[in-house]
């Protein structure tokens, strides 16, 4: 009995080379196909492909296995952020061990409870959050997004730049007030983000009543390296069983599974959609696991190299450059 051929695995990205403008590309192994030329509606960007995702997806499957197309070698092309999102949605405090560590680290110096008691209290709090509460979501700026191999400029106005590796859901179908059960049907695929944070600016010192200032802490140009590619959801069987690893100068700093999320990808996307209308190409960051720089007592500095991987999504590699050296 004949066996069915396995579908060709592919991804989406944005590329340029030889002075040409960026173009949306289909990635198969080490080859890239210009979708602006290969698709009949000649999309100018990856977002334009995602805008017609239901039509595009079967066409991409066919193109991925077509050896007669004008494929180009990936080597030699510049890899940009795979999408230029219209909206950036970010989720905070969404990994159980990370939040427990934060609770313990921020105990008052004169706290009566021991570290073990604080961990037990925080664990119970996380159980209650997962059962009764809602995700913590805020928005970022598209102008903070940069490519997966671009240098990250560390602004002179922060003394505590930190890393935050995150799984990103890329929207492929408009989502507004969708249920948790429906949410993943609106996700075209997944990619990698490093959601950098200026730790010294998270809390306002001039008016503590205001609380957190995510605008100032997270939106410097280049503070959201994205990519390298968008891997379609059909090639990510279970987004809640992926390994996230960030290495700083070769040393593992974050190494955790998405199983540790308090609110899974579907709940985060659904929750965000009940306030905002999510559009094709929008990115939803789903939180960062334990192991940030503030935990290790080692923040980013000039010359550092961060290498980030998530199972099946490729490798992101960025070098830190002090603003005065940029």
Q: Each residue of 177-197: pLDDT tens digit?
A: 999 999 999 999 999 999 999
CATH number, span 88-93+136-325: 3.90.850.10
When pLDDT is averaged across residues 51-62 and rounded to a whole number, the result is: 98
pLDDT at 5 over 70: no
Alpha helices in 147-209 (DSSP H): 180-183
Q: What is the pLDDT confidence band of residue 2, given thresholds at 50, 70 and 90?
A: very low
Distances in whole angstroms, Cα of residue 166 to Cα of each of 25, 52, 87, 235: 23, 26, 17, 18
Q: Where are the domains of the chain?
A: 11-80, 88-93+136-325, 95-134
* Segment 156-165 mean pLDDT: 97
On whether the CB atoms of residues 74 and 27 are closer than 8 A, the answer is yes
What sign has the CA pseudo-torsion 39, 41, 47, 53?
A: negative
Is residue 258 scored above 90 in pLDDT?
yes
Which single residue is written with the structure tokens 């193109």? 63
What is the rounded average pLDDT for all residues in the chain? 94
């Amino acid at each position: 009995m004949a066996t069915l051929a396995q579908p060709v695995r592919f991804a989406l990205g944005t590329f340029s080379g030889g002075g040409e403008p960026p173009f949306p590309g289909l990635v198969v192994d080490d080859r890239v196909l210009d979708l602006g030329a290969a698709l009949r509606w000649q999309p100018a960007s990856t977002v334009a492909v995602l805008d017609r995702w239901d039509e595009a997806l079967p066409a991409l499957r066919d193109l991925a296995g077509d050896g007669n197309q004008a494929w180009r070698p990936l080597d030699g092309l510049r890899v940009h952020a795979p999408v230029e999102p219209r909206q950036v949605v970010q989720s905070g405090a969404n990994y159980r061990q990370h939040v427990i560590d934060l609770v313990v680290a921020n105990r008052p110096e004169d706290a009566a409870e021991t570290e073990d008691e604080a961990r037990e209290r925080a664990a119970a709090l996380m159980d209650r959050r997962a059962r009764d509460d809602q995700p913590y979501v805020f928005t970022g700026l598209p102008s903070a997004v940069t490519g997966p191999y671009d240098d990250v400029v560390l602004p002179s106005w922060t003394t505590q730049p930190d890393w935050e590796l995150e799984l990103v859901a890329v929207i492929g179908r408009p989502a507004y007030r969708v249920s948790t059960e429906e949410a993943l049907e609106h996700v075209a695929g997944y990619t990698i983000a490093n959601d950098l944070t200026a730790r010294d600016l998270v809390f306002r010192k001039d008016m503590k009543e205001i609380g957190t200032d995510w605008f100032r802490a997270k939106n410097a140009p280049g503070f959201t390296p994205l990519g390298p590619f968008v891997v379609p959801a059909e090639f990510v069987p279970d987004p809640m069983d992926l390994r996230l690893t960030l290495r700083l100068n070769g040393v593992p700093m974050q190494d955790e599974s998405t199983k540790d999320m308090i609110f899974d990808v579907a709940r985060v996307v659904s929750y965000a959609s009940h306030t905002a209308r999510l559009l094709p190409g929008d990115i939803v960051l789903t939180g960062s696991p334990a192991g940030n720089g503030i935990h290790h007592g080692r923040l980013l500095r000039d010359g550092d190299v961060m290498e980030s991987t998530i199972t099946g999504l490729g490798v992101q590699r960025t070098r830190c450059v002090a603003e005065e050296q940029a």
